[in-house]
Chains A and B, each alone.
Chain A
Amino acid sequence: MFRHPRRFRFLAGLFALVLCPRLYAADPVRMVLEFQPDRDNGRQVYATCARCHLPEAWGNHDGTYPQLAGQHVNVLLKQLLDIRTGKRRNPSMRPFVQERTVGGYQNLVDVVSYITDLPMDPAHNRGPWPEATPEYAKGKTLYLDNCSGCHGASGEGNNEKSYPRLQGQHYSYTYRQAIAAKRGLRKVNLGMLAVVNRLSEEELKFALNYVSRIPVPKKDLAPNPGWRNPDFK
């Protein structure tokens, strides 16, 4: 399971408030930190996550928990930091991702490096409309026109820009998140907000049905749905 250590970077935006009476605000200061991931430590950190997210990080089919396995490191990291700071509202997870519990940036980098390499659920939850249905075809057009610009033509996402990989994600989860964003229950960036507002709930269903049916490259999948993560035997 051990792969090459991956070098990657992430940005921590630090807003330096200069306490000078003549300045109302300061420009954001951008700091680039670089970490060398330690996957073995990541496995140990993940043990706590696995208590809820399960050892395979596959989430569950009714979409209460997302599939984390195979997700981009920067996406995972962004979510962890957003939940840590409260930017993404998740009160029940928040205490688990504080520095006092999970540790500092190094531990976060390690754990996301572990998660991204986990093989994905080969039988993730898919939308209700198979290929050759009109809903599937509509969804394909909607997806390519509205979503693929950021999330990629095959739902592969974009690590550099922290755009999530949708390919292989449970339909039940992506749909609930899209609806939550549309109803103002989940904060998302302006581009994403424009899309969920522009599309109807039904159109979102079609688009997400399509993306849930894009095949995941075989190399990223576990051999079968009964596979269990040997790291947690």
Chain B
Amino acid sequence: MTDKSKLSRRRFLQAAGSTLVAGVPALAVAQHEPAPDESTAQTPPSLARLLRKADLPAPKGPRVVIVGGGWSGLSMAKYLKLQNPAFDVVLIDRQPAFLSFPLSNAWLADQVDLEFLSHSFFEAARHHDYRFLQATVLGFDREARKVYSDAGILDYDYLVLAPGIEYDYARIGVEDPVEQQTLYHRYPGGFYSSSELLTIKRKIHEFKRGTFLLNVPNGDYRCSAAPYERACVMAAMFKKHNVRAKILLLDMNSDITIMKDAFSRAFHDLYADIIDYLPSSMISNVDVAGRSVETEFDEYSFDDAIIYPPIRASRLLEEAGIVNPSSPQKTADTDPFRYNLVGDEHVYITGDSRSQPFSKGGHTANSEAQYVAEVIAGHALGREVVWRSPQTMCFSTMDIDPLRAMSHITYYRYDEASKDFAFDRIHSVDNWDVTGGQASLAWAEGLFQDMFYE
């Protein structure tokens, strides 16, 4: 398969099942179909759309395809156009609309409404002069610089992969894929898709009495403070509505991973009769039907639960064969300063599927994207760009009615001695108050404004 231009529909479909095309992963949809027979070589109509060109105007400049319309992809699309207006930018996401996970814990307790969190990809694309394509990306061919999606094929000059995370249920002992799906549907973690959040809100509002189990995953999970914050928000709701509930918070880490004193204080002072915090609780199995969780030494039964398993980078990277085998979260080998895949200056990986150890969260992704957009524009235009650190600004809702929050900002630096990134400055404002609550809203409003409207 050396001459890509001669790749016919038929041959592509055949190849799709056997990963014959260099760099193109097996199309999941094709895998389950019987291999097309040479004699009856008819493309199934439902697959034909995979093989045509996506419905996009011919690019007027170098095309950048961004996979993933989260905080990283949205910020990237905007700043790429600012840094180089000649870029033809296409942002792809499989969701029809954006729902913010940051601030969603405040929404669980009705401190902000759904309109505050939800925004249209069309608005972002219209205000920042790029294209939005609602599609699922199936794979890409780095040699031919093509992206395959269920809305057709796109050529690219630069590819930005910002597909985010997936849950890694195997790391809490749930290995069987069907069992994983059952667990996902019954007790979603609320860090991956918007349906999870909507389910979680109903669960909390409908909870009458008993034990509500939450957990904190280990590893570099998305949004360090959020699982602790969620326990506080739920406790505040149960308190307000006089629900006789216990929150069992199983932390897979040996201690609170962020703003330890403040969260300890909240668990102790505000929610002592509701939250039971249990550190070093390594979950080793979940019994969905029996509603219980096993750890190394104990078993905990629950009436309802939010199970947040450890996370890994999107499978898109693994399927493309670019994952570093020694990476526990299945990230790729990228240049730590320039974010490109090692050996390929046309493919960049940002956001929560990045390889660098920065805290995973919306603000990290937004500030990082502003820099990486300069790197990519710099590559296209022959400009030199000096590395700068992303920041992680993080707010935690600690109490409701009125909304009270604390904040924590992290700057990073590169440590020459250890040859790795390290924390530079950290500044915590850990006395949660109304000013902090208002600041958390201003923070989110400003970043929505940045990504969608201005």
Contacts and interface: CB of A to CB of B under 8 A. Distances in A.
Nearest to A49: B439
A47 interface: yes
B404 to A, nearest CB: 14
A172 interface: yes
B438 A60 contact: no
The majority secondary structure among interface residues of chain A is loop
A47 B429 contact: yes
B411 A101 contact: no
A16 B136 CA distance: 53
A54 B442 contact: no
B415 interface: no
Contacts of A48: 435, 439
B450 A91 contact: yes
B388 A94 contact: no
B442 A101 contact: yes
Contacts of B411: 60
A95 B446 CA distance: 6
Interface string B403-432: 000010101000000000000110101000
A123 interface: no
Contacts of A64: 367, 388-389, 391
A63 B435 CA distance: 27
A62 B413 CA distance: 9
A218 interface: no
A54 B449 CA distance: 23
Interface string A40-63: 000000011011101100001011
Given A52-B409, A185-B82, A172 B388 contact: yes
Interface residues of B, number: 29
Interface string A60-78: 1011100000000000000
A51 B427 contact: yes
B387 A62 contact: yes
A30 interface: no
Given A60-B424, A62-B389, A96 B442 contact: yes
B424 A95 contact: no
B386 interface: yes
B446 A94 contact: yes
Contacts of A52: 391, 393, 409
Given A51-B407, A62-B387, A93 B438 contact: no
A96 B393 contact: no
Given A60-B411, A62-B388, A64-B388, A51 B446 contact: no
A55 B407 CA distance: 13
Nearest to A180: B82
A118 to B, nearest CB: 15
Nearest to A98: B442
B449 A95 contact: yes
B22 interface: no
Interface string B138-155: 000000000000000000
Given A51-B393, A52-B393, A96 B439 contact: yes
Nearest to B391: A64
Contacts of B407: 51
B442 A91 contact: no
A153 B47 CA distance: 70
B154 to A, nearest CB: 28
B225 to A, nearest CB: 14
A89 interface: yes
B391 A50 contact: no
A95 B442 contact: yes
B97 to A, nearest CB: 20
Greatest chain B CB density within 10 A among A63, A91, A92 is at: A92
A161 to B, nearest CB: 29
A92 B447 contact: yes
Contacts of A54: 409, 425, 427
B445 interface: yes
A89 B82 CA distance: 12
A54 B425 CA distance: 9
A198 to B, nearest CB: 19
Interface string B350-391: 000000000000000011000000000000000000111101
A201 B393 CA distance: 32
Interface in A20-49: 47-48
A62 B450 CA distance: 21
A101 B442 CA distance: 8
Nearest to B371: A64
A101 B439 CA distance: 8
B179 interface: no
Contacts of A172: 386, 388
B83 to A, nearest CB: 8
Contacts of B449: 91-92, 94-95
Contacts of B387: 62
B454 interface: yes
A63 B82 CA distance: 19
Most buried by A among B435, B447, B453: B435
Contacts of B438: 101
B146 to A, nearest CB: 31
Contacts of B427: 50-51, 54-55
A122 B388 CA distance: 21
B425 A93 contact: no
9 contacts: A48-B435, A50-B429, A62-B387, A63-B388, A64-B367, A64-B389, A91-B450, A92-B449, A96-B442
Given A91-B450, A94-B446, A96-B442, 14 more contacts: A47-B429, A50-B427, A51-B439, A52-B391, A62-B387, A63-B388, A91-B454, A92-B450, A93-B446, A95-B443, A95-B445, A101-B439, A101-B442, A185-B82
Interface of A: 47-48, 50-52, 54-55, 60, 62-64, 86, 89, 91-96, 101, 172, 185
